Each structure stands twice: as C-alpha cells, then as structure tokens.
Amino acid sequence: MKRLADLRDEIDLWNNLKKKIEETAELAAMNDPSFENEITAEIDSIEKELAIREFDVLLSGPYDRGNAILEVSSGAGGTESQDWASMLERMYLRWCEDHKFKAMVLDRSEGEEAGIKSSTISVEGKYAYGYLHCEKGVHRLVRLSPFDANHRRHTSFAKVEVLPEAAQEDPTVQISPEDIRIDTFRSSGAGGQNVQKNSTAVRITHIPTGIVVSCQNERSQVQNRENAMRVLRARLLQIYQDEKDKELEKLRGVYIKTEWGSQIRSYVLHPYQMVKDHRTEYETSATQGVLDGHIDDFIQACLKQK
C-alpha cells in the first residue's frame, strides 16, 4: 500500500507538470505581448520543477526512497581526526535540517579531549538513502591544527558509512532470536545528570556475522534496543547488497576494492580553500558553506556520474 501511494504521488506530479506545460504553450500561442511576463515566470517555474523531477529519476535504486543510517568514525590521528569526525557529523546534521529530514543521533562515542570517535545517526525522510549513499567513503581534511602547539598543518581522515534502513517487514533481512546476544550497560556521558544510574544502554551482537551494534542515547532500555535493532538490520542488509554487487562486478569483469586510504573527497583549509570530490572532479572554494551542510552539488555530480 505504501508503494502504491508513492507511485500515485509520483504520477500526479508528472501529470500536473504536463498540464502546466500545455497551459503555458496555449498561452504563448496567443501571441499576446501582455502575457509575456507571466509566460516567462511560468517557463522558469517549469524548468526548475523539471530539474527536480530529473534528479528524482536518478534515485531509482531499490532503497533510494527510504530512510538511512549514517555512521561517522574517526581515523588514525587521535584528537585531530576525532575533531574532524565531529565536524562531519555537524555537516550532515545541518544538511538534514536544511532538507527537513528527521535526524536522530542513536549512538555517539565522545573523544578523549575533543570531537567524537564515532556517531550513528538515523535519517528519516523520502529519498534519504538515495541522496546520502554518495557520501559513503573516506573524507580527508587538511588544515592548521588547533590542537598543535606549533600550529602545524595536519592531515586527518574520517570514514562515513551510509546504510539503507531495512524495514521490519523486509524479507531480505531475517534475524532469528537465537542468533543475537543482548547485553545492557550504563550509558556513558559527560558526567553529572548526563550519566544514567540504570543500565539503559544496549549492545546487540549478531553471532553468525560477529556484527556488534550499541545504542545509549535514549533514556529507555526498550527504545535503545529498538534503535540498535534498526542499525543491525541495516548492517545485515548492507552485507546482502555488497554480496550482490560483488557478484555483479565479477560478471562485468571489473572489481575495485574500497580501501581506507582511497578517500572520496578532500577538504583543504590551508594553504588554500578548496573542497574536491575525487570521483567526479567537482570542486568548490566555498569550504565554509560545505562544512555548514551545503553538499547538494557534490551529491548531484555523483548521482549523474553513476
């Protein structure tokens, strides 16, 4: 029923656009100069809507319309890379806010001095996974480190994973109660009232694969367990997708390994300002805008290339 409703909405959008084009063409055929401004405004509106519809066509994967689980983890480099991971977390949260997606931090591991070791974010909204899956990979930062007493230039790495959220009824993911082990522990926090006295945090281990997920941001053990299961389902679905992709690549005769060192994007803040995507060669000097969540141009370039 959800798929049926989505298709009806999509067909309505195209039919309304078709009607708008026909009405504008009829108005233009009248050759009345008094309608010129109105026709020009309508054409601009049609072109903008066509660009949006064209972009939606690029998001035609089986999970592109659904929600996403986004994970950011710091690489080697201690405090500097942990601070970089927190900058990326903020960038994606700002992007979600700008696009009216519901973003919720499910689990966060704080750094020793600053930043974060890792963060798991649930992103809910239409096409959330379709947009964000292009962000998967290693992100590199070059800047003058605020944590270096000599203010030297440092290079930091952080890894971004984007998983399609597997719906409860998705037949692809089957989790047997015998295959999981659930442990509870006290939530860690900044201290004081932020630390839970009860064991509300949940850690789930999927025994067949060895996958371990945890969630501690909710005050209820039941909520943390539900959120942890959401992440586990998403991880299992990703494994299933990766296996299918490997089979497809073998048939094509091409297989490129995705390794930690193969960064997809570089963010250079010193000695010059530039953000460059190494897959599409798209780049911009508006580094602050990108770090504030304005990454749509990078996403569009990636989708068009695919």
Q: What is the CATH number of the domain that holds 187?
A: 3.30.160.20
Which residue has better confidence, 102 or 257? Answer: 102
Provide the pLDDT confidence category of residue 253 given band limits of 50, 70 and 90.
Answer: low
Whether the predicted pLDDT of 195 surpasses 50: no
Instruction: Provide mean pLDDT across the span 86-93.
Output: 97
Weakest mean pLDDT among 119-123, 165-169, 203-207: 165-169
Instruction: Provide mean pLDDT across the span 159-167.
Output: 86
Instruction: Provide mean pLDDT across the span 275-284.
Output: 96
Q: For residue 260, tell me if it sits in a domain.
A: no
Same domain for 277 and 239: no
Whether the predicted pLDDT of 303 surpasses 70: yes
Instruction: Provide mean pLDDT across the span 197-213.
Output: 86
Q: For residue 261, tell me if it sits in a domain.
A: no
Residue 191 confidence (pLDDT): 43
Strand ranges of the sheet holding 102-110, from the earlier edge strand across to the other edge? 102-110, 116-124, 68-74, 153-164, 137-144, 263-268, 274-277, 283-284
In this predicted model, what pLDDT tens digit does every residue of 214-223 receive, in sequence order?
Answer: 898 777 888 8
Domain span at residue 13?
2-58
- For residue 162, what are its two tokens? 């984007």
Q: Of 37, 58, 79, which one is at a domain's C-terminal end? A: 58
Residue 150 confidence (pLDDT): 81
Compute how many other C-beta atoms are within 10 angstroms of the C-beta atom of residue 150. 6
Q: What is the CATH number of the domain that holds 158?
A: 3.30.70.1660
Same domain for 165 and 80: yes
Which of 57-61, 146-150, 280-284 is the most confident on average?
A: 280-284
Provide the pLDDT confidence category of residue 258 given band limits of 50, 70 and 90.
Answer: very low
Residue 186 confidence (pLDDT): 77
Residue 172 confidence (pLDDT): 75
Same domain for 144 and 27: no
- Predicted structure pTM score: 0.77
Quote the CA–CA distance of 290 and 35 in Å, as a whole number: 40
Instruction: Provide mean pLDDT across the span 278-304.
Output: 95
Residue 251 confidence (pLDDT): 59
Residues 72-111 as b/e (b if ≥16 CB within 10 A, e otherwise) read bbbbebbbbbbbbbbbbbebbbbbbeebebebeebbbbbb
Q: For residue 42, tell me if it sits in a domain.
A: yes
Same domain for 104 and 151: yes
Instruction: Provide mean pLDDT across the span 234-241.
Output: 86
Provide the pLDDT confidence category of residue 301 given band limits of 50, 70 and 90.
Answer: very high
Residues 172-183 as b/e (b if ≥16 CB within 10 A, e otherwise) read ebeeeeeebeee
Return mean pLDDT, the chain.
Answer: 87
Cα 30-35-37 angle, rounded to 5 deg: 140
- For residue 257, what are its two tokens? 């390994």
Quote the CA–CA distance of 246 and 279 in Å, as a whole number: 20
Same domain for 118 and 165: yes
Total structural domains within the chain:
3
Whether the predicted pLDDT of 197 surpasses 60: no
